[in-house]
Every structure is written in structure tokens, then in C-alpha cells.
Structure 1
Amino acid sequence: MHYDLVIFDNDGVLVDSEPISNTLLAAYLTELGHPTSYEDSLRDYMGAAMHRVHDLVWERSGQRLPEDFDEVFHGRVFAAFERELQPVAGVVDVLEKLTAAGVAYCVASSGSHERIRVGHRKTGLDTWFDDERIFSSQDVGRGKPAPDLFLYAAERMRVAPGRCVVVEDSPLGVRAAVAAGMDVYGFTAMTPAERLRGARALFGDMGELTRLLE
């Protein structure tokens, strides 16, 4: 394989969480008097850390979200994960092939450590990702589109940025990977291809990823 490290985004790439979390985020913002559709949520917040939600609402309305916003939202998300979260189809096969080829991999997510782990336990991906392979925007000052998280993951995994490839499904994540000097493959299952401009290649099915990596 061309790369020494494959860095996976989590939401929408490893676990099929984007439909769940964006439905709940749109509903909660609407409930608080900030009308938001599911499509709005995908456009504005998919792939972002929570501070982006607070920043955009403040920018647009001049109002602050409640102190306990993150806590209430995550409570709703985790409850929904327990009921319905699934791994992204075909991702276990990719992880098996990387392991067989001896290629290192990790996850670098805008989500909190707790959110990543809850999702992995529910989907069985915790057998593939131990603590040494999990990186969250909580570990760095700035989330995507800043390159900090991907650079931090590469440093911790002891691989030069130019030897890394990132698997992403959000425009913010693609921008972060490009800024980090890494190749990026854009996963178009949930995101229109034109929104992932800057990716080295695009693919809509996890089965295609192993071929791209080779």
C-alpha cells in the first residue's frame, strides 16, 4: 500500500451516525427557537466539533445556547445510538485487510472521546480501536477544518503527514486533511461529491476503499 497510516473520520465513515445525530440536532435547535432542518444541519454542522454549533447560532441570532446544551444533546444522541447505531457497511472488511497488510490505522474525530467509544461499543468496532488509536478534537485546541487533529494523530502514531491518508465524508474534514498535507479520500455515501472538492479520490461504497488504498 502507498501509505503508512490510514486515518479514519468516525461519524459517517466508521459508524453510521450522521443521520441520527443530525436529525436530533436539527430538532433540538428548532425546539430552542432556532429553526433548523435536517438538510441545514448536514450542510452547516456535519463533521464539526460542538463549538461550531454554538458559534454559528451566536453569529446568526445573537443568542447563546443553554449552558447544558451539549450535555442534553449528547444524552439524546447516546440513547439513540443504543437503539439504532450500526457500523458503516463494509468497514470491518477494510479494517481486516489493513490489519492483514500490516498497515497502521486510527480514528480522528470531531466527536468527544465518550461519543466515539459509545458508538464503537454499540457497533463492535471497539475490538478494532483501542485507546492508542482514538483521537478526538478534545485532544487539540481547534477542531476541523484546522489541521491540528490530523497532525496530532500522525505525531502520536509516529508517521510523517506525507505518509498518511485520511478517509473523510465532510467538507470540513477534507479541508483539514489538505491543510495537514495529507492525501484524502472522500466518502460520498452521505455527502454530494461536489462538496468534497480537494479530495484525491471519491468513493461511494466502502468496498472501493481497499482498491483505492492499493
Structure 2
Amino acid sequence: MLPALVVFDCDGVLVDSETIANRIMAECITAAGLPITYEDCRSRFVGGTLQRVIDTVEQWLGRPLPPDWKADFETRRDAAFRAELQPVPGVAAAIETIRASGVPICVASSGNLEKMDLTLGLTGLKEHFEGRIFSATMVARGKPHPDLFLFAAEQMGQMPETCVVVEDSLLGTAAGIAAGMRVLAYAAETDSDALTAAGGQTFTDMRALPGLLGIGATARMGAAD
């Protein structure tokens, strides 16, 4: 049975932004007096909101970050996005196949709307999601809480148990499971075992996504095997 709704995370699922953003984040946190590596940023912060990052870093530092830290980080990150950002390989074709099947899609991300407007616009994906983009800023609690995915399902007129989430982070996978949704966990750059332990069904090639949803030739071939 096809899902009633496919809910996409944005960073790392639609746009290949995690490497860029976490590189800049490590540089900015280190400059603020807390040496941290790209790898540590990626393992600790992927899937969460920027405010979650700020709160955590300030707790570690034992003092507030400079007043202009957030604005400086976003300016540097967005400049790097404009220079480097690409869609996740294979995702555009997967989206087109899903839409052609008649299954509705939306985005539910920890990023704010301005960031998604930039990243989805730069990668040519925004047109697929116009009017169906939801941010953690719209709910009381971000991932790993289920609030954002439940809100997206409600706004799209669907029951949670009929929805499928496409995620790449542990926080997002936990949020989808907590919402009562099936989670397809994209593990191209995230530990597959950890995503599985969090409740996700892992895959590493976006070209396989329609088949995992029961759409198209991939699903038919799988059924025949």
C-alpha cells in the first residue's frame, strides 16, 4: 500500500548541505573559544535546530556566545551554500517519480523557512514543495520530539500512521518513530547501525526511494524476487 504522505527532512536528504554547514559551524565555534572538529559537530548536532547548537555550546563554554555569533555563522554558511550547494544525488528524480504516482510530499525540517527558501531554491527543488514546507520554528519542540512531523501530517490532512518520513539523522529518525510514522533513514553519510537502532529502515541510494515506498518498477521487481 502506498503511503498517504511522504515527509522529507531537508538538510542531508534533499540538499547536500551537512558537510558545508558543519565545516563552517566548527570554524565559528572554535573561533568563539571552544575548539571543536567538523566530525564532532556532525555527530553532535545534525538534525537539531541552530538554537539547540547555541544552547549546547554556551553550556560547554559556561558563558554566552558573542551577540553577533549567530548572524556571523549564518552569513558565512549561506555564502558557502551559494558557492557549493548541490541537491542530494538522485533525489530530484526520486521526487518526480513520487509526485507522478500521486503521493503527496512535504518538507519538515529543523531549519528555518528562510534557510530552506535559500537551499531549496539554489538546488532547484523548491518548486516541488511550494506551500508545503514546515519548520521546527512552527512548533513548541524540535526533533527528537514528534511535534514537527505531527504538525506536518495535520497540515497535510493525513493521519500519522499513514505517513512515511525520509530522514538522515538520529534526532529526526527518533522524531519520526515517536510520531508513529515509518522512517526511511538515508544512511549515505550517517551510521547505518545507529539509524537502525533508532527505528529507521536504512538505505544508501536515493534512486531506491520510490521502490521502498512501493512506487514504480523497483517495487515490482522486488515483489517478484
TM-score range, shorter chain: over 0.9
Q: What CA distance in whole angstroms lies between the structure 1 residues aligned with 2:145 and 2:69?
A: 24
Q: Secondary structure of 1:141's match?
A: coil
The 5 A counterparts of 1:87-102 are: 87-102=87-102
For normalisation by structure 1, the TM-score amounts to 0.96
- Kindly provide the CA deviation profile for residues 175-212 of structure 1, in whole angstroms up to 9, marking residues without a partner as x: 11111111101101110112212334100110111111
Task: Give 1:43's aligned residue.
Answer: 43
2:25 and 2:73 in contact (8 A); partners too: yes
Q: Report the RMSD for the aligned CA atoms in angstroms.
A: 1.1
The 5 A counterparts of 1:18-57 are: 18-57=18-57
- Kindly provide the CA deviation profile for residues 117-159 of structure 1, in whole angstroms up to 9, marking residues without a partner as x: 10011111122120x2100111112111111110110000000
Deviation at 1:50, TM superposition (A): 1.1
Task: Give 1:168's aligned residue.
Answer: 167
Runs in 1 of length 4+ with deviation above 3 angstroms?
none
2:47 and 2:172 in contact (8 A); partners too: yes
1:107 and 1:133 in contact (8 A); partners too: yes
| Structure 2 gaps, min length 5 | 215-225
Query: Percent identity at matched positions?
Result: 47
Task: Give 2:223's aligned residue.
Answer: none
| Structure 1 gaps, min length 5 | none
Q: Secondary structure of 1:108's match?
A: strand
Q: What CA distance in whole angstroms lies between the structure 1 residues aligned with 2:186 and 2:171?
A: 13
Instruction: Supply the AA of the counterpart residue of 1:205.
Output: D
Instruction: Supply the AA of the counterpart residue of 2:139.
Output: V
Task: Give 1:73's aligned residue.
Answer: 73
Task: Give 1:178's aligned residue.
Answer: 177
1:185 and 1:199 in contact (8 A); partners too: no
Deviation at 1:56, TM superposition (A): 1.3
Q: What CA distance in whole angstroms lies between the structure 2 residues aligned with 1:67 and 1:205?
A: 41
Task: Give 2:204's aligned residue.
Answer: 204
Which range moved further: 57-66 or 109-118?
57-66
- Kindly provide the CA deviation profile for residues 14-45 of structure 1, in whole angstroms up to 9, marking residues without a partner as x: 00000000000001000111111011000111
- Kindly provide the CA deviation profile for residues 58-86 of structure 1, in whole angstroms up to 9, marking residues without a partner as x: 33221211222222111111111111100
Q: What CA distance in whole angstroms lies between the structure 2 residues aligned with 1:149 and 1:70?
A: 23
For normalisation by structure 2, the TM-score amounts to 0.92
The 5 A counterparts of 1:124-139 are: 124-130=124-130, 132-139=131-138
Over alpha carbons, which structure has the higher Rg? 2
1:47 and 1:170 in contact (8 A); partners too: yes
